[in-house]
Structure 1
Amino acid sequence: MKQRGRWAANPEIIAQHSTHQAIRAMTLESLGMNSKVIYRRCLPGGTWQRLLPGVILLHNNDPTPDQLVHAALLYAGESAIVTGEEACLRYGLRLPSADGPRQVHLLVPHRKKLNSAEFVTIERTRYLPAPWQRDGVPLAPIVRAATDLVRRTRNSESVSRILIEAIQRGSCSPQALAEELNRGSQRGTAIPRRLLAEWSDVRSVAEAEAQKLAALLPNPPTHQNAVLYDRSGGYAGRPDFWWDDVGLAWEIDSVEFHFRSADYARTLRRNTRYAALGIAVVQTLPSRLRTEPKAVLDELSDAYRAAETRPRPPVSLHIPPEDLRTAG
């Protein structure tokens, strides 16, 4: 009775021992609460709810994402690490909408005998990485979190979007993602391996999306990543996409993915060269390729029609032979 009086006389002590209002049933028992009292409070219409085996939420409303994550960590124990979708979201990646209720994917040491339960997926691994702490939550490194997610994603379009987010917003290189796929289980890696192999020769991963979109145009680009020269053989630029018949450039770039000031300065110098040579250029945010594809196609079509009405700028894909002779 003495222990029971401890929590009954001081209800705040329960909240003090919880994490985001999630608490282990054994912790409640250690505070002197009888298991029958715990069970009764978790019955329909009760003030609490059971989220996972041995884990209680100290209210009966819908749990928040933070409460689901901390409940999962309480269930799995101290060595558990959040990976997959939940970790990617906490790193700020913009992911395709998931089907079904929110799941929490946890990595635990291979020696630990623990089963998945409710909304928690338990993965036992011999390659448990050192966690990154974000707001008190241990996360798998972003390369591991992203590859763990794509391994469990069957839709190729969704896999593509996840990998592009990891590369562009998460600063993961395609090589690092491929190496992480090689390190773990090979199950579910066929689609991401194929995509990463395709992207190995693409200067900007966003161009992979742009290629698909450009194919829908009535007048697709004639060249990609072609080097342009002015009349004197000087370097004029290397647009992501180029319409050689009308002298139109399409660049997939923006400060959205320019993490260094030098990148932004280089973009300004490039645009100045284009303007001096009379090259029309369309610039597109990488994110708009997914969020506004029709608007992007309309802009490119309008720009192509406008370029047709102007004299073609004095640039070529190769240094003119007469300039080569002069230079020699």
Structure 2
Amino acid sequence: MSRQTWARDAEALFAASRLGVITVARLESLGVPQRTSYRRCRPGQPWQRLLPGVVLLRTGEPTRRQLVEGALQYCGDQAVVTGLESCRRQGLRQPAQPGEPIHLLLPAHLKTVSSGYVLVERTTRVPAAVRVDGLPLAPAVRSVLDECRRSTDLGNVRALLAQAVQQLAIDPADLSTELENGSRRGSAVPRAALREITRGARSAAEAAAMRLSRRTGLPAPVWNFELRDERGRYIATPDAWWDDVALAWEIDSYEFHFGQPGYAATLARNNRYAAAGVAVVQTVPSQVRSNPDAVVAELVAAYRAAAVRPRPPVRLAS
């Protein structure tokens, strides 16, 4: 494209971009002088500057995808998206928050620094990218821990790790391995949260429930073990189980259990409990957080009631 024709061929410029995002250097190679590119990003002009040397060939609020494209073009071909942005694009159900940065990994020898909405982390352990919708993403295990290392809030880290285990089907053992192999910087909080998860808690609510169960004065339950009837048929995998009195405790999150098709699965599980004669206490996460004393009282009452009735012939799977 010649310098005389580029201004009349906006569609050709857009076609050379990625969703309207393009570098000033690329525009110059197409015949657009640098000074013209920057001038067209001024207020009232048809383009906008996203990052140093990166423009969007449109006005108005950029989409999240355009921001990611801008971050990748700013950082170059060796960049890999990590953190929440990567997790979200691999299945994490957590919307982006206003001002949330886009976290990119770069090889340690490169000199690109953080700018604007882009958080650059240089590392000697750049992972092989997973391609999702054309974007180079760090594997989910690395992405979630890169986010966790940036937080000092145990509750937030615990919740994010639990979401990753549930929604991204990450094995807690893989999280532990990544923590051991990665940087020690910022690892103390995710390490503490992961200890709770690897002890058996599959959600942030279950981790809180483990702590709450210690306040009941009851014998310690076991967590997340399969329960079978006298004929060996599967009943359920209760969150907590008091085997001496055959009492199950389920932390039933509305998001994960009562949403379709989870609602039908929860009903079927409860029917199996009833058919086997198992006593069940069902608690939603908000109760664990907001009314722990009431939950403790319910558990103690249910345990006492279960203790005075004949124990049904159920067993934990070996």
Provide the TM-score with structure 1 as the length reference. 0.76
Q: Secondary structure at the match of 1:3?
A: coil
Alignment of 1:16 with 2:12, yes or no, is no
Give percent identity, aligned residues only: 41
Provide the TM-score with structure 2 as the length reference. 0.78
**Contact 1:230-1:314 at 8 Å conserved across structures:** no
Count of residue pairs brought into register by the alignment: 303
Whole-angstrom CA distance in 2 between matches of 1:246 and 1:118: 59
Q: Note closer, same or farther for the CA distance 1:142–1:251 as it changes in structure 2 (3 Å cut).
A: same
Whole-angstrom CA distance in 1 between matches of 2:228 and 2:84: 46
Whole-angstrom CA distance in 1 between matches of 2:22 and 2:112: 18
2:67: which partner in 1? 68
**Contact 2:21-2:55 at 8 Å conserved across structures:** yes
CA drift of 1:163 comes to 0.9
Query: Which is worse superposed, 140-149 or 244-253?
Result: 244-253
Q: Deviations over 1:149-174 (max 9, x none)?
A: 00111111111111111112112222
2:149: which partner in 1? 151
CA drift of 1:91 comes to 1.6
Q: Which amino acid aligns with 2:279?
A: A
1:91: which partner in 2? 90
Q: Secondary structure at the match of 2:163?
A: helix
Query: Which is worse superposed, 203-212 or 291-300?
Result: 291-300
1:117: which partner in 2? 115
Q: Note closer, same or farther for the CA distance 1:309–1:108 as it changes in structure 2 (3 Å cut).
A: closer
Whole-angstrom CA distance in 2 between matches of 1:142 and 1:238: 26
Q: Secondary structure at the match of 2:122?
A: strand
What are the within-5 Å matches in structure 2 for residues 24-103 of structure 1?
24-95=23-94, 101-103=99-101
Q: Secondary structure at the match of 1:250?
A: strand
2:159: which partner in 1? 161
Alignment of 1:7 with 2:6, yes or no, is yes
CA drift of 1:200 comes to 2.8
Whole-angstrom CA distance in 2 between matches of 1:68 and 1:230: 54
1:187: which partner in 2? 185
Q: Note closer, same or farther for the CA distance 1:21–1:290 as it changes in structure 2 (3 Å cut).
A: farther
CA drift of 1:66 comes to 0.6
Whole-angstrom CA distance in 1 between matches of 2:217 and 2:246: 13
CA drift of 1:250 comes to 1.5
Whole-angstrom CA distance in 1 between matches of 2:172 and 2:311: 33
Q: Deviations over 1:13-47 (max 9, x none)?
A: 11101112111111111121122221211112222
1:326: which partner in 2? none
**Contact 2:288-2:295 at 8 Å conserved across structures:** no
Q: Which amino acid aligns with 1:225?
A: V
Following TM superposition, where does structure 1 have runs of at least 4 consecutive aligned residues deviating by more than 6 angstroms? 226-231, 234-238, 243-247, 295-311, 316-319
Q: Which amino acid aligns with 2:311?
A: V
Q: Note closer, same or farther for the CA distance 1:281–1:189 as it changes in structure 2 (3 Å cut).
A: same
Whole-angstrom CA distance in 1 between matches of 2:101 and 2:287: 25
2:248: which partner in 1? 249
Alignment of 1:225 with 2:200, yes or no, is no
Q: Note closer, same or farther for the CA distance 1:304–1:128 as it changes in structure 2 (3 Å cut).
A: same
CA drift of 1:308 comes to 7.2
The match for 1:196 among 182, 185, 194 is 194
CA drift of 1:301 comes to 6.5
**Contact 1:80-1:107 at 8 Å conserved across structures:** yes
Whole-angstrom CA distance in 2 between matches of 1:126 and 1:307: 53
Whole-angstrom CA distance in 1 between matches of 2:34 and 2:282: 64
Q: Note closer, same or farther for the CA distance 1:270–1:305 as it changes in structure 2 (3 Å cut).
A: closer
Q: Note closer, same or farther for the CA distance 1:97–1:30 as it changes in structure 2 (3 Å cut).
A: closer
**Contact 2:281-2:302 at 8 Å conserved across structures:** no
Supply the RMSD in Å over aligned alpha carbons. 4.1
Q: Which amino acid aligns with 2:119?
A: T
**Contact 2:277-2:312 at 8 Å conserved across structures:** no
Q: Which amino acid aligns with 2:309?
A: P
Whole-angstrom CA distance in 1 between matches of 2:305 and 2:130: 56
Q: Deviations over 1:70-95 (max 9, x none)?
A: 00001111111100111111122244
Whole-angstrom CA distance in 1 between matches of 2:209 and 2:303: 20
1:325: which partner in 2? none
CA drift of 1:128 comes to 1.4
Whole-angstrom CA distance in 1 between matches of 2:5 and 2:123: 41
* Structure 1: unaligned runs, 5 residues or longer: 258-263, 320-328
Whole-angstrom CA distance in 1 between matches of 2:285 and 2:93: 14
